[in-house]
Amino acid sequence: MKVGLIYDPIYLKHDTGHHPENAQRLAAIVSHLEQTGLKEQLTPIAPRPATKEELTLVHRERYIAQIEETARRGGGWLDMDTVLSADSYEAALYAAGGVLAATDAVIKGKVDSAFALVRPPGHHATPSQGMGFCLFNNIAIAAKYALTKYKLETALIIDFDVHHGNGTQDAFADNPQVVYISTHQYPHYPGTGAVTETGHGPAQGTTVNIPLPAGCGDSEYQQAFEQVIAPITRRFGPQLILVSAGYDAHWADQLAMMQVSTSGFARMVGVIQELAGELCQGRLVLSLEGGYNLTALATSVKATFEVLLGNADIADPLGEAQRRWPAPDITPLLKKLKEIHQLD
């Protein structure tokens, strides 16, 4: 297996200070990949800055100009959660462009799959608003880019970040070419992602929200993947699978109340990789989203790369969740999802 790694020190220049989404996240990941020798097994792919034309595949020109001007003035706050520094606009261009470079490499067959370790993250960014630590919606831009440049007819986005990707949902709510599937803690930030949000008009049914209650862990996520995500993916038959890979559902993460382990993330990625191999010639692109416990984040990203490389042994130094909350019964939720999306 040839697996691409997209990374550049430019991503560290998005200076957020003591914000939870800070440069230490990527530094911890890269250091762990280097110390364990895994980085040597990966194929480096250089990112490039996205063009303004590419950004406008998702974002409005006025919003792009706002981000550029805010950075030019030295930075500032878009909202109470989302901050820019002087270099944030450039970093955000390279974040979006890094996922585009990953998409190019996968579609052209230079690598079997690719993981873009980028920041700022993207899945909360709507066409006209940055929020939730996000500036440009990296994964949504990549999906529209793939449809436009390579004339793909279908693409599928799986988002396993603990927060609902409201920006990605907004980008494709009326686009029948893209299925968006999200597992997320609910209710939780940003408050969207109810099971009844399924898309509009010709895209009715192409938005699939799996709003999981707090306390869900490996077992509950595995049920969601096996009973909902896999059958919907097979029915849709995408030509490309993209993943918003957020690791804040880890039991050690401080920003949510889920109980997924590093091994649990590895099993999710394994299911996605199998689906990509079965349905779209293995074409799989991942983009980093959340994850704020540095050890949990670094080990989970490494586990993801191990799965993509086909390595069987997954190191999980933090182990299984020490349950802080009882495991919820998600059977009624799965039943409702099957009814809404007409699954057997």
Question: Per residue in 3-15, pLDDT tens?
Answer: 999 999 999 999 9
Supply 171's token pair: 């980008």
Contact yes or no for 240/211 (Cβ under 8 A): no
Contact yes or no for 181/203 (Cβ under 8 A): no
* pLDDT for res 224: 98
Question: Per residue in 123-147, pLDDT tens?
Answer: 999 999 999 999 999 999 999 999 9
Average pLDDT, the chain: 97
- Is 164 one of the catalytic residues? no
* pLDDT for res 312: 83
Q: How far is CA 76 from CA 9, 17, 65, 119, 158, in A?
A: 22, 12, 14, 17, 31
- From 132, 119, 135, 140, select the one nearest 29 (Cα to Cα): 119
Backbone torsions φ then ψ of 2, nearest 5 degrees: -105, 115
Q: Which domains does the chain have, with CATH numbers?
A: 3-313+322-340 (3.40.800.20)
* 326 CB-contact burial (10 Å; exposed 0-12 / middle 13-18 / buried 19+): exposed
- From 202, 210, 332, 315, select the one nearest 262 (Cα to Cα): 315
Catalytic residue among 32, 124, 163, 164: 124
Q: What is the pTM of this model?
A: 0.98
Binning pLDDT at 50, 70 and 90, where does residue 204 land?
very high
Binning pLDDT at 50, 70 and 90, where does residue 151 land?
very high
* pLDDT for res 324: 74
Rg (CA), the chain: 18
Cα separation, 161 vs 233, in Å, equals 18
Contacts of 80 (CB under 8 A, 6+ apart): none
